[in-house]
Amino acid sequence: MREQDPVPPLAEVLAATRVVAIPTRTRFRGITVREAAILDAPQGASEFSPFPEYGDAEASAWLAAALDFGWAEQPPVLRERIEVNATVPAVPAAEVPAILSRFPGCRTAKVKVAERGQSLADDVARVRAVREALGPEARVRVDANGGWTVTEAATALRALAEFELDYAEQPCATVAELAEVRRQTRGQVAGDSGSAPTVRIAADESVRKAADPLAVARAGAADLLIVKAQPLGGVRRALSIVAEAGLPVVVSSALDTSAGIAMGLRLASALPEGLLAGACGLGTVALLDGDVTADPLLPREGSIAVRRPALDGAALDRFAAPPERKRWWRERIARCHALLAAPARRPHQR
């Protein structure tokens, strides 16, 4: 939440909280069950779902987002529907058509690469399968989640150049490495000696996990930013970061339920004209084997309407987390709430 916004009382937040554990349809970055705290808040459903390994300081930004979306008025909607991309986990190439079938009408796909235990040949085969399935006019992106070194990134992007990538997301872990990859790939990946970058570089973790989310823009380390509402502290704070960064953005999710996707849609819908850089990564409810609403936010004809679905009590009961996990999440909320309640310690305040 913003510095001037009051934090709702912990008792009120906990009273609004239900904890769910929803299986994924396909293993996604090692995840087979997605846990989330769902808030039945005054403004509508909201979500707090930082991954379990994140510490309280980082997770408190996610709680700030959940409270802001659940208790505060949001910026006005500037667009009614948001185009979304298909998200292809690091599956064997033969499984790609089945994955894409869950994203009807999507003409952009983001493909996970650099998965631990896999090879560049696996990545090439997966991206080739996506390109063949979607055709030459579709946009294909890759996301390495910081899994390559600079040398590995340059090698991989040369190997993938034949597929005419839209961009490479977070090829390396650090801002300095991103800047070096961007320098190396300017006119080199496909043998072009021109000054324009052959493969655009997008920054994700270097924005959402950074103490200074603007450092990547100042360093000239990316052509565009991937922004996620939860890790950045909410829709309003994400909009302020985008305005300061001055780079085009794609809004994405972190394998959220529809409650969290609604937050991302609201962010995408509120971006000023000219800043939205194509299809957003907000179709990932399609990767979950369940949801918290009877009317999930799934892609239809390649896009999703900007709306906030009602929570479904039966779904919340069906996917209720075990008692020990419910207790773990509620204790986590209490710790993060304590950080937010002390203004000087709120995450990423400027």
Catalytic residues: 112, 228
User: What's the average model confidence in pLDDT over 150-173?
Assistant: 95
Task: Establish how many alpha carbons lie within 13 A of residue 76's alpha carbon, considering only the half-sphere containing its beta carbon.
Answer: 2
pLDDT above 90 coverage of the chain, percent: 87
**pLDDT single digits (tens) 20-76:** 999 999 888 789 999 999 999 999 999 999 999 999 999 999 999 999 999 999 999
User: What's the average model confidence in pLDDT over 318-331?
Assistant: 98
* pLDDT recorded at residue 213: 87
Residue, of 159 and 211, whose pLDDT is higher: 159
pLDDT band at 132 (very low <50, low <70, confident <90, very high): very high
Number of CB atoms found within 10 A of residue 233's CB: 29
Give the per-residue SS3 of 234-285.
Answer: CHHHHHHHHHHHCCCEEEECCCCCHHHHHHHHHHHHHCCCCCECCCEECCHH
Residue 221: phi, psi to the nearest 5?
Answer: -90, 0
pLDDT band at 235 (very low <50, low <70, confident <90, very high): very high
DSSP designation for 84: B
* pLDDT recorded at residue 349: 41
pLDDT band at 197 (very low <50, low <70, confident <90, very high): very low
Between strands 139-143 and 108-112, the pairing is parallel
Segments of the chain assigned to CATH 3.30.390.10: 10-74+313-345
Q: Which of 259, 245, 76 is nearest to 227 (CA)?
A: 245
Report whether 289 belongs to an annotated binding site.
no
Separation of alpha carbons 124 and 119, rounded Å: 9
Does position 188 have pLDDT exceeding 70, yes or no? no
Could you tell me the fold of the domain covering 10-74+313-345?
Answer: Enolase-like; domain 1 (3.30.390)
In CATH, the number for domain 81-305 is 3.20.20.120
Average pLDDT along the chain: 93
Indicate the pTM of the whole model.
0.92
Report whether 56 belongs to an annotated binding site.
no
Segments of the chain assigned to CATH 3.20.20.120: 81-305
pLDDT band at 233 (very low <50, low <70, confident <90, very high): very high
Q: Which amino acid, one-letter code, is at 305?
A: A
Q: At what angle do helices 258-270 and 56-71 cross, to 10 degrees?
A: 70
Report whether 212 belongs to an annotated binding site.
no
* pLDDT recorded at residue 320: 98
* pLDDT recorded at residue 208: 86
